[in-house]
Amino acid sequence: MADFAATPQPAVTDEDKTMATLAHVLQVVGWWIAPLIIFIMKRQSRFVSFHALQALLLQVTAVCVWILFMAAFFASFFATVATAHPGPNQPPPTAMFVMFPLMWLFMFGWWGLLLVVAIVYGIKAGRGEWASYPVLGGLARRILKM
């Protein structure tokens, strides 16, 4: 990563800064589709393709985390229902009342984290910085052979 920072980078135009910012910020409402469209449209710009690919990789990671969490939630839900002893005056299983608020907190916490990351890196892209996500930035550099 130090080699990349030390090498001189081509000048970043205002249009490139705008498109890179849009790639980060539009992922909040456009999920993976917005960064993918920007990545495909501005493939010739290394700056825009780097930032758009990072946003795209973040959205792919987010979808994978959602799928894993929902699978764990449904597995615990069905396990709770299966082990419950139904009766005429039995209350619902306590685990159901614990898992639903935890799921809700996780979903909003995860969305909040994605929102903060999108805003922070959108601002950095708007300044013309080659800022990279902690783990996904290195992966994006390898994919783009930077």
| Better-scored residue on pLDDT, 7 or 115 | 115
DSSP characters over the chain: -HHHHHSPPPPPPHHHHHHHHHHHHTHHHHTTHHHHHHHHHTTT-HHHHHHHHHHHHHHHHHHHHHHHHHHHHHHHHHHHHHH----TTPPPPHHHHHHHHHHHHHHHHHHHHHHHHHHHHHHHHHTT-----TTHHHHHHHHTT-
**Could you report the per-residue pLDDT of 48-62, keeping only the tens digit for each?**
999 999 999 999 999
**Could you report the per-residue pLDDT of 6-41, keeping only the tens digit for each?**
555 667 888 889 999 999 998 888 888 999 998 899
Report the pLDDT value the prediction gives residue 122, as an integer from 0 to 100.
92
Query: pTM value?
Result: 0.78
Q: Domain ranges in the chain?
A: 11-81+92-143
CB 41 within 8 A of CB 22: no
